């Protein structure tokens, strides 16, 4: 008689479960480390992307983030392409009472998207010297991608809660990433989100330029509560990095992975890179800057879903600037400012000259890392 088959589970780890091990054979002066990030034919001074969320990125943030050395992504399915004057709409969302805001957003986001505004927003970004990156869901990509390409977009992102290279749907011919890459010509195509080795590698095999990693860890996302899906970010990033390295050994083509979600401070950011990320996508930490369009609030793309909202408006308060968040100076001890300084210091302490070196740094399972020896801090918090 055959034995019954049981589902097996493995342990997965998030940022609070692990710690970076410092001090290899040498250390490096933080000023000497190299932070550049390469995406297709484009090079960026900082390995940071700003999330395609209406409370984080508008035209102004895209321009300012570009000037700082990173890449900000504008959401093509948000208020920026539904309204000629998105600022007024964002103000309504910001002042709405908490118990009314989701219903309000459902009404606001039910307004039709205006394709002419896609080209207009891209032009506004590029006219001010910014790098224009935009995002659409798979459902609207076939319609919006050609418009964005013709408007001169620099990076096109296809993003949904979970994206796979093979999607089964009712349509006769769904979105095929191989064809999209060809249609976009030399415009890098980034796709997400995934959390597994197999899904990441299959997406890379379609010719895309980058993969977003993460399902459910974002401050404004409730997919884990509503749908029960997701993998803690450290494990998800490690698995995706293994897929990237395997694909690179097989083909010689390096496709960067971007840890997207849950990076709320410098510690989580540094752990993302050691887990294998080539860049990180930032959301709530940027929503607290005066340059962000959300007026001290942050919400995800799925928050205004008409039938199954999977997010919430998070109040983050405006208590810093983009300059301080990225470069300091800071007197804060919560790790939410001077991210570049934190990354440089962590890399130097671990003897890493480049992000690729930093990815090789040892990491340990250490669930007590934030509380060990911190009794006075905990008592006085």
* SS3 category, 180: helix
Cα separation of 306 and 268, whole Å?
32
pLDDT at 6: 82
Per-residue pLDDT of 27-78, as tens digits, reads 999 999 999 999 999 999 999 999 999 999 999 999 999 999 999 999 999 9
- Strand ranges in 201-247 using DSSP code E only, listed in sequence order: 210-213
pLDDT at 168: 45
Tell me the CA end-to-end span of the chain in Å, nearest whole number: 59
Cα separation of 220 and 312, whole Å?
5
pLDDT at 215: 86
CB 141 within 8 A of CB 82: no
pLDDT at 380: 56
Cα separation of 77 and 300, whole Å?
12
Residue 159 CA to chain centroid, in angstroms?
A: 10
Residue 136 CA to chain centroid, in angstroms?
A: 14
Q: Where are the domains of the chain?
A: 15-367
**276 backbone φψ class: left, alpha, beta (φ>0; ψ -120 to 50):** left
Q: Are strands 279-282 and 48-50 parallel, antiparallel or unpaired?
A: parallel
- What's the CATH fold of domain 15-367? TIM Barrel (3.20.20)
pLDDT at 229: 77
H or E element in which residue 222 lies: none
pLDDT at 123: 98
The dihedral over CA atoms of 148, 150, 156, 161, expressed in degrees to the nearest 10, equals 40
Cα separation of 374 and 381, whole Å?
11
DSSP string for residues in 306-360 = SS---B--EE----B-HHHHHH-----SSS-S-HHHHHHHHHHHTT-SBHHHHTT
Predicted TM-score (pTM) of this structure: 0.92
What is the phi/psi pair of residue 55, to 5°? -85, -5
The tens place of each residue's pLDDT in the chain, 381 residues long, gives 567 788 888 999 999 999 999 976 789 999 999 999 999 999 999 999 999 999 999 999 999 999 999 999 999 999 999 999 999 999 999 999 988 988 898 999 999 999 999 999 999 999 999 999 999 999 899 999 999 999 999 999 999 866 666 554 455 456 899 999 999 999 999 998 999 999 999 999 999 999 999 986 655 555 666 667 788 999 999 999 999 999 999 999 999 999 999 999 999 999 999 999 999 999 999 999 999 999 999 887 766 776 666 667 888 888 899 999 999 999 988 999 999 999 999 999 999 999 999 999 999 999 876 665 555 555 655
């Amino acid at each position: 008689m055959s034995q019954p088959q049981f589902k097996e589970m493995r342990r997965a780890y998030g940022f609070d479960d692990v710690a970076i091990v410092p001090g290899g054979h040498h250390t490096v002066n933080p000023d000497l480390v190299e932070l550049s990030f390469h995406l297709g034919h484009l090079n960026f001074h900082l390995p940071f992307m700003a999330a395609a969320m209406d409370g984080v990125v508008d035209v102004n943030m895209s321009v300012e983030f570009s000037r700082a050395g990173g890449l900000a992504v504008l959401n093509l399915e948000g208020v920026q392409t539904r309204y000629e004057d998105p600022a007024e709409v964002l103000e309504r969302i910001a002042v709405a009472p908490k118990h009314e805001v989701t219903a309000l957003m459902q009404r606001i986001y039910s307004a039709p998207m205006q394709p002419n505004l896609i080209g207009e927003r891209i032009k506004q970004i590029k006219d001010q010297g910014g790098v224009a990156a935009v995002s659409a869901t798979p459902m609207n990509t076939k319609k919006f991608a050609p418009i964005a390409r013709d408007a001169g977009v620099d990076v096109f992102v296809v993003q949904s809660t979970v994206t796979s290279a093979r999607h089964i749907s009712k349509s006769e011919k769904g979105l095929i990433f191989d064809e999209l890459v060809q249609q976009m010509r030399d415009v890098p195509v980034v796709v997400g989100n995934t959390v597994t080795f197999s899904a990441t590698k299959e997406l890379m095999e379609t010719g895309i330029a980058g993969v977003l990693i993460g399902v459910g860890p974002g401050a404004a996302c409730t997919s884990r509560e509503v749908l029960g899906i997701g993998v803690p970010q450290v494990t998800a990033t490690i698995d995706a990095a293994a897929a990237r390295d395997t694909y690179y050994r097989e083909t010689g083509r390096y496709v960067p992975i971007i840890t997207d979600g849950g990076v709320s401070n410098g510690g989580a950011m540094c752990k993302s890179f050691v887990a294998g990320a080539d860049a990180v996508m930032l959301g709530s930490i940027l929503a607290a800057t005066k340059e962000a369009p959300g007026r001290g609030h942050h919400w995800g793309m799925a928050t205004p879903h008409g039938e199954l909202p999977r997010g919430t408006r998070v109040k983050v308060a405006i208590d810093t600037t983009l300059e301080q968040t990225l470069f300091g100076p800071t007197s804060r001890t919560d790790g939410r400012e001077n991210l570049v300084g934190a990354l440089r210091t962590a890399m130097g302490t671990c003897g890493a000259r480049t992000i690729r070196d930093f990815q090789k740094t040892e990491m340990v399972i250490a669930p007590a890392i934030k509380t060990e020896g911190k009794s006075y801090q905990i008592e006085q918090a």
